[in-house]
Structure 1
Amino acid sequence: MKPVLRAAGVALLLMGAVTGAYITGRVTAQRALVTPEEINTVEVVQKTLPAVVRVDARLRKEALQPGDDPVDTGTGFFYKKNLIVTNYHVIQYQESVSVTLYNGRRVTARVEGIDPGIDIAILRVTGVTAPRTLSFGRSAALVPGQKLITIGSPLRIQNYVGTGVFSVAASARDIPRNDGLGQEIGQYLVTTANIQQGNSGGPLLDSRGAVVGVADANAAPNSFVPGVIGIAVPGDLVRQSLDDLEKIGVPQRGTLGVSLVDLDTLDPALRQLAGLSSSEGALVDEVPAGTAGARAGLRGSLRNSRGQLLAPLGDVIVAVDGQRVRNSFDVVRLVAAKRPGQTVTLRVWRNKKPVDVKVTLQKRTLQ
């Protein structure tokens, strides 16, 4: 796991029969376990722990730098009898993958599907059946202050359990990442559960034991301070992606199919020639034939033999469905919130005046 956005677990849960243990209904617990909150946490962990695995990805040689650990460790969980969810960044550079079940049994796995747009991957295992599978709850129904539970393998410590609360759903523009992944996540779940390296891909559970998010990252003020704010991919988005990957092979979030350039990276002289007074927006660069953008009539840009942009510029997207955009990332995530067949209205700057362009989004296909 590289520094930036990655994931992990939180607070250790010590379980097992000890002198003075007593029965609390469904759970044999230590004497200190006396509150309904504690009992609920233990019940959820005992029910869900068998579904959670440690994921070890042996990295390809070309992906390694001198001194790098050749094995990247994360977490995953069974959602079907032989299918496991994890983060794409855990297996992105894998040469081979293995998973270790909660009881220590280790088996090989292969990558079944990937969705870099929301940093999710599916692994398939053979020769073993899930001891238990987890179901998804509704992440959209989370209430600030609601308890959340994480299970993962931070620092390769497997079956590590922690608790926190759901804090807020934060715009992805406020949670920058430098790995180029997750570009189609509109909002992240922010939690006090301390998500660290090794918990990537692990479940974020509610008090019923339903998956409401997938641990993905942590936030820190700088690279010298451990991240203390947990970041997770919303479970509703993950569930939708898994369904798409299984049925179609690719996620079905909206895309224009065009390449974009951040307006603030352009020579100010070019912006001035185009009549633009602001550096906010995304320039349409290439518009491949057959894409949703091409069918809607979006105009691309011209370049010379050295790849330099020429005047007049192509369309500049300044708003999506009435929401102003700062850069290409804003355009991508707002369009990705749509599904194939839906229409998105783009406000573009064309020939020194604003024009509205309606784009009907198409079904994605395997490349």
Structure 2
Amino acid sequence: MLFGRRVKPSALVVLGLVALLVGAAGGVGGWLLARGGDSLTRDVTLAEAQPGKERPPGSVADIAARVRPAVVSIEVKLGQGGGGFGSGVVIDGAGYIATNWHVVTLEGRADESAQITALFTDGTRAKARVVGTDPKTDLAVIKVEVDNPTVLAFGNSDELQVGDAVIAIGSPLGLTDTVTEGIVSALHRPVVAGGDNGQEPITYDAIQTDAAVNQGNSGGPLVDSTGALVGINSAIRSSAGNTGSVGLGFAIPSNDARRITEALIRDGRVAHADLGANVRSVSADTAEGAQVVNVTEGGAAARAGIAEGDVIRKVGDRQVRTAAELTVAVRSHRPGDTVPVVLARQGQELTIQVTLASD
């Protein structure tokens, strides 16, 4: 009996077979679903982030996007083979690029046969010529012929404070268009480099930063949180046996770089204020500063009455504790400026007015 009706035995057999087939089909389908079989279509919804990552004005991504087109990689090839690379930044719409002296001259090894090429972030390559160099402060200007280059505006490096956020952009180790972020970790840090082969040492009043800077970043920009140029990356300090970044990078302040590059573009050279004295660093209970070893005959120091053995402790408003600090303190003024110089002589402190000469 089925639903109150009599059913033939043959029909029951057929119904049984149908039931077996339906059960088998259901089992196979379930197995395929469990295995993720490609033969079946199924709806899958995966979690996803909201569209569009926020990049508000002033973010690192926003600043980098605006600054990178003004940054170039610089390749220098020597006529006899070899060469080097570094970075630079476009500072004028006529195609003037600021960089380091040691980049374009390969630390004085390059000659007039050297070929200099600037590579822009859009892939443009342009031959460059040297406009002027200043080996004393490690600055140089080169020029390229390109249409409407992106220019990076100078900021005021005097307004920087320790802890301010900064971004370095350049070509570390040949990796073009690299962006790193950090802070200003010190200001007015005298840096002395070079001085090999009879050359005068490079000396400048540096911005210290922990933004990762490596070989190849030299000549590239250090920018502040507005995207303004506040420094030209120039050197790193590394531990023994380590030539990479250890969080001690140094940049030439933009106010110094602006004054020097303007002179190089205008005159092809720059004149620095000069005291006319050779000094050495001293530190003692009675005096700390730059002790005069000898004075140049007819120089600024000699005319002002500074003598051998005097210990210079202050120039203008700048404290002097080392020979390097004396150099950067003097160069912060212009030739012809008259500045008060505080010195120690035979246990007494004197203040002498000195009219600085030109080097």
Partner of residue 85 from structure 1, selected from 74, 98, 120? 98
By how many angstroms is 1:58 displaced? Answer: 2.8
Give 1:108's aligned residue. 127
Aligned partners of 1:292 and 1:165: how far apart in 2?
Answer: 41
By how many angstroms is 1:331 displaced? Answer: 1.8
Aligned partners of 1:181 and 1:144: how far apart in 2?
Answer: 27
Deviation per CA, 1:209-233, whole angstroms, max 9, x where unpaired? 2111111122233332632323211
Partner of residue 202 from structure 1, selected from 220, 232, 238? 220
One-letter amino acid of the structure 2 residue matched with residue 246 of structure 1: I
Q: Are 1:76 and 2:88 matched, yes or no?
A: yes
By how many angstroms is 1:35 displaced? Answer: 4.9
Give 2:142's aligned residue. 123
Give secondary structure in 2 for the equivalent of 1:285.
strand
By how many angstroms is 1:60 displaced? Answer: 7.5
Return the index of the structure with the highest Cα Rg. Answer: 2
Give 1:34's aligned residue. 54
Aligned partners of 1:144 and 1:171: how far apart in 2?
Answer: 11
Q: Are 1:342 and 2:337 matched, yes or no?
A: yes
| Equivalenced residues, count | 297
Aligned partners of 2:290 and 2:258: how far apart in 1?
Answer: 31
Aligned partners of 2:67 and 2:318: how far apart in 1?
Answer: 40
Residues 1:349 and 1:142: Cα distance change in structure 2 (over 3 Å): closer
Deviation per CA, 1:58-97, whole angstroms, max 9, x where unpaired? 3576xxxxxxx92121000111122100011212322322
Contact 1:318 1:324 in 2 (8 A): no
One-letter amino acid of the structure 2 residue matched with residue 281 of structure 1: A
Give 1:160's aligned residue. 178
Contact 2:215 2:244 in 1 (8 A): no
Residues 1:59 and 1:357: Cα distance change in structure 2 (over 3 Å): farther
Give 2:15's aligned residue. none
Q: Are 1:333 and 2:328 matched, yes or no?
A: yes
Listed as ranges, the gaps of 5+ residues in structure 1 are 1-29, 62-68, 265-275, 300-313
Residues 1:249 and 1:351: Cα distance change in structure 2 (over 3 Å): farther
Q: Are 1:316 and 2:324 matched, yes or no?
A: no
Aligned partners of 1:223 and 1:56: how far apart in 2?
Answer: 26
Residues 1:145 and 1:176: Cα distance change in structure 2 (over 3 Å): same
Aligned partners of 1:345 and 1:202: how far apart in 2?
Answer: 36
- Superposed, 1:220-239 pairs within 5 Å as 220-224=238-242, 226-229=244-247, 230-239=249-258
Give 2:354's aligned residue. 359
Residues 1:341 and 1:72: Cα distance change in structure 2 (over 3 Å): same
Give secondary structure in 1 for the equivalent of 2:91.
strand
Contact 2:288 2:311 in 1 (8 A): no
Give 2:23's aligned residue. none
Single out whichever of 116-125 and 239-248 deviates more from structure 2.
Answer: 239-248
By how many angstroms is 1:136 displaced? Answer: 0.7
Deviation per CA, 1:77-125, whole angstroms, max 9, x where unpaired? 1111221000112123223222222233322222211223322111122
Residues 1:144 and 1:283: Cα distance change in structure 2 (over 3 Å): closer
Instruction: Calculate the TM-score normalised by the size of structure 1.
Output: 0.69
- State percent identity of aligned pairs: 29
One-letter amino acid of the structure 2 residue matched with residue 357 of structure 1: I
By how many angstroms is 1:189 displaced? Answer: 1.8
One-letter amino acid of the structure 2 residue matched with residue 106 of structure 1: R
Instruction: Calculate the TM-score normalised by the size of structure 2.
Output: 0.70
Single out whichever of 209-218 and 219-228 deviates more from structure 2.
Answer: 219-228
Contact 2:99 2:220 in 1 (8 A): yes
Aligned partners of 1:361 and 1:31: how far apart in 2?
Answer: 62
Residues 1:189 and 1:324: Cα distance change in structure 2 (over 3 Å): closer
Residues 1:263 and 1:157: Cα distance change in structure 2 (over 3 Å): closer
Residues 1:358 and 1:248: Cα distance change in structure 2 (over 3 Å): farther
Asked which structure has the greater RCO (Cα within 8 Å, sep 6+), the reply is 1
Instruction: Report the RMSD for the aligned CA atoms in angstroms.
Output: 3.3
Q: Are 1:133 and 2:142 matched, yes or no?
A: no
Residues 1:32 and 1:262: Cα distance change in structure 2 (over 3 Å): same
Aligned partners of 2:263 and 2:302: how far apart in 1?
Answer: 24
